[in-house]
Structure 1
């Protein structure tokens, strides 16, 4: 069996190792039954790395990440690290991976499997079979712009400064990813900013419009202010296909969309870099849910976001759409069969552990494979 790529596994903290174990179970099935092998390597990140090396990610781990075709990332953080200096907090390891690998495009799908429509706080008809892709610019904007900091003014007051800044190149490269995604989906892009009050928003709208006119006339493009988009996500979420937006608004909108699905435990994500000469991109795949230290070690975490993140890896890093589709089908079949982890538990369903859910996905894969 030929290995199709190098994958670095960074389980991290909290429930990260638990959900990563179930991904390993699924990967083993694909290796045995679909002849899909990977060169796997494991390492530490976040609090686990700090406990061992006194940094949230080591230079050696970064070298491994840079050489990998994809990184599968669990979660970082926990209350035991709250008092660490800012630069040593577990989350700095995640940010360094994103920044140093140049992972500027963050893909966060909000998908509602039919059997989970009633788990959403919205009415079934608003969210059943929902499929939105939120594309967030990840390495620019107000989180990285200069100047930034906290300063003391002559009169003794303190002032906090953060700068929202984008260049033409940063805008067009994320917009290009959005248009390309839309071409493979339903052909609609909604570009989101605040051009009514922010010059950076005006530039964003102008550059997205220019790129659309020059190269993507076959894709529908609409513009929407970020505050209206928040409202529309709750009012009529199925109007959206691909939402393209900046770092700050993407952070907010993707969490708002998360609630549509009923649980953070159902949300995967992908962070992609620029394509090289061979069309390959540096990439990291991770669940949105975080380390959830309050339930870590109890065997009740939902592994489906982590498993779906692996599915995104199959699709976007290795062009294995058929295998990714098979995995999505297995997840849907498992949920239709009534199995639920604690976070998505519903009346009349069967509550199962993290491990049992992983085993159920493998069993569903086997059934689907044999059909």
Structure 2
């Protein structure tokens, strides 16, 4: 286990971000106190409140902290107050800016079904059995970053909006390599998703992914799938997938679709990772997938499990504590097995609890499960 103290930065952000981040922070502090996770934790301003106080969505002190962090836990961004900020200021401090500045090219979204939440899903139980896949999304290229983009007025008075979908071979190969390496740690299968039948960028994507596999990853099984078919397959038979790799916009859409296998968008964690630097350190942002959800912000009813499971990913991928990640994921599962339900994963026979109460439920399970976890670890050694 690493002895060096790791620098963890918290960015609660907008909407329900502060609510879910408060629960993830409580769990992180438990890990530091009870499991000796070597981390220092600092919270920084970001988003609409930061703009109100400092005139910047991403204040200089926050941006400097992000550059120096070993792991960043992010809450959410967006909402009416954020949208009211001048566009140039929003773009200057946007999450897209953070991703590009930190080179967070690989977004990892695990989709693992939990039997306790089968009834919360719109899919049938038989479809949910055995679902365990990872969606790897290219995060700093494609249509979200392509130029030119904008809205213009044509000579005839009509308005036209335009965006540019563009990828280079190196951008494609970098994220595909990451996906193949992930597959080697799992079941050894990658499905690459594109729209090569109508998009030249999709043709290039398919050719480059195939060429990389043939040159360096012949031990990994590779298939290709059009994105529209993939969307259908995710709700028809999601257990068929191991690792999905796709571009920025398709990954955004498909991972939200896949959330229904887990019962709610509020359950999904994610990790956005940069290239490995000297010593193996990567810039890394961990965040729930659900967004700012302004309609429920401030009501105390948000589901914090996406944020808490994002912390588990941080423990495993950035903080060098896979045993603690296993422990935390087990505690989340135990809390759900015991009937803990926020409103987004409600069941008729179970009471609905608050965001804070869900955090309490996970902490109770950590207290209860930890001695048994320690005993199992000792037995393995």
CA distance in 2, matches of 1:324, 1:249: 29
Matched, 1:39 2:40: yes
CA distance in 1, matches of 2:167, 2:135: 19
Per-residue CA deviation, residues 301-353 of structure 1 (Å, 9 max, x unaligned), is 11100000000111111232221111111111110111111111112223222
Matched, 1:307 2:312: no
CA distance in 2, matches of 1:58, 1:36: 29
CA distance in 1, matches of 2:160, 2:343: 44
Name the residue aligned to 2:100.
Answer: 99
CA distance in 2, matches of 1:282, 1:327: 22
Name the residue aligned to 1:203.
Answer: 204
SS at match of 2:94: helix
SS at match of 2:292: coil
Judge conservation of contact 1:77–1:91 (CA < 8 Å) in 2: no
Name the residue aligned to 1:147.
Answer: 148
Name the residue aligned to 1:163.
Answer: 164
C-alpha displacement at 1:129, in angstroms?
4.3
**CA root-mean-square deviation:** 1.7
Per-residue CA deviation, residues 175-206 of structure 1 (Å, 9 max, x unaligned), is 01101111112211100001111111111111
Name the residue aligned to 2:31.
Answer: 30
Name the residue aligned to 2:84.
Answer: 83
Name the residue aligned to 1:135.
Answer: 136
CA distance in 2, matches of 1:252, 1:36: 35
Judge conservation of contact 1:106–1:272 (CA < 8 Å) in 2: yes
**TM-score relative to the length of structure 1:** 0.96
CA distance in 2, matches of 1:158, 1:293: 30
Distance 1:17 1:83, change over 3 A: closer
Structure 1 unaligned spans of 5+? none
SS at match of 1:278: helix
Aligned length: 371
**Greater strand fraction, Structure 1 or Structure 2:** 1
CA distance in 1, matches of 2:338, 2:4: 33
C-alpha displacement at 1:284, in angstroms?
0.2
After the TM superposition, list the runs of 4 or more consecutive aligned residues in structure 1 that deviate by more than 4 angstroms: none
Matched, 1:262 2:255: no
Structure 2 unaligned spans of 5+? 373-381
Name the residue aligned to 2:216.
Answer: 215
Judge conservation of contact 1:8–1:41 (CA < 8 Å) in 2: yes
C-alpha displacement at 1:84, in angstroms?
2.9
CA distance in 2, matches of 1:81, 1:280: 32
